[in-house]
């Protein structure tokens, strides 16, 4: 048994939960339970905000020790204890508003417990319906509440132009339809670092498993970085180990490979 690893961080979409699926693979559920039984703390590390998690009923049967959400911008323990938060500078968001209005881009302004869209169009309609997102006064939200992340629906070729109108921010993509926009210097590694610090652990004592472009730096940061067999090429290149596809028990196989279960 591997006694070096004390914490494990898992992306959700494409890693824990197959895209378009309603439940986690049985092998994944059993592996997570075995991992906790062996004394390893288990964390979500996702681009999703806290407000989305209760809607993902596939996670209902898993006991997580904590959550790295919004790509590391808001991290907390299972009991609600806040470990780290890093909002976007409101000045950058004020600069962005005229641009997205002109381009008619659909953008979600994500708070800890609320998500407000400037508009919903054909690109974002399905997502907003599934995640129960609605249009609201985003200008007001910028002035009254910390905005930790944007979910911006635009094609990849518009990314450089978008970021030029949102100074001090970066974009990471894990979905073909939209990008997550974060404050520069943010990302999953920053979230992991603060969680590990709170636990009194080092990066060498953690494993991270993911599949998307927003997982690349996390896989590089972790003591052991694992890419799913269905991961994007960038994630596979960043990983120490590439396991099988999510539908081929890839997560459980990776944990067995490193003698964690």
| Predicted model pTM | 0.92
Contacts of 222 (CB under 8 A, 6+ apart): 9, 192, 203, 206, 207, 208
Write down the architecture of domain 7-85+186-257 according to CATH.
Answer: 3-Layer(aba) Sandwich (3.40)
CATH class of the structural domain 90-183: alpha beta
For 39, which DSSP code?
T
What pLDDT does 49 receive?
A: 92
What pLDDT does 182 receive?
A: 94
Side-chain-facing half-sphere of 60: CA atoms under 13 Å: 7
**Which alpha helices (H) appear in the chain, and where do they start and end?**
26-37, 90-103, 125-130, 138-144, 159-164, 188-199, 216-221, 233-238, 250-257
Domain ranges, ordered by start, for the chain: 7-85+186-257, 90-183
Q: Give the tens place of pLDDT for each residue, 105-134.
A: 999 999 998 999 999 999 999 989 988 889
Rounded mean pLDDT of 142-151?
Answer: 96
7-85+186-257 and 90-183: identical CATH topology: no
């Amino acid at each position: 048994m591997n006694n070096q690893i004390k914490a494990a961080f898992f992306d959700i979409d494409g890693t824990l939960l197959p895209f378009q699926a309603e439940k986690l693979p049985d092998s994944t559920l059993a592996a997570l339970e075995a991992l906790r039984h062996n004394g390893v703390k288990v964390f979500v590390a996702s681009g999703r905000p806290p407000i989305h998690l209760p809607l993902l009923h596939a996670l209902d049967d898993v006991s997580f020790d904590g959550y790295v959400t919004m790509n590391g911008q808001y991290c907390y323990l299972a009991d609600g204890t806040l470990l780290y938060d890093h909002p976007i500078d409101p000045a950058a968001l004020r600069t962005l508003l005229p641009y997205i209005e002109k381009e008619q881009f659909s953008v979600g302004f994500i708070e800890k417990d609320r998500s407000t869209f400037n508009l919903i169009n054909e690109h974002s309609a399905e997502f907003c319906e599934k995640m129960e997102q609605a249009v609201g006064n985003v200008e007001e939200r910028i002035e009254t509440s910390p905005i930790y992340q944007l979910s911006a629906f635009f094609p990849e070729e518009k990314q450089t132009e978008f970021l030029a109108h949102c100074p001090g921010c970066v974009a990471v993509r894990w979905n073909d339809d939209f990008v997550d926009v974060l404050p520069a210097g943010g990302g999953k590694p920053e979230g992991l670092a603060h969680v590990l610090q709170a636990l009194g652990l080092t990066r060498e004592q953690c494993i991270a498993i993911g599949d998307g472009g927003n997982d690349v730096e996390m896989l590089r940061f972790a003591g052991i970085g694992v890419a799913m067999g269905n991961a994007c090429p960038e994630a596979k290149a960043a990983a120490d180990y590439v396991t099988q596809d999510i539908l081929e028990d890839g997560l459980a196989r990776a944990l067995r490979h490193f003698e964690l279960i």
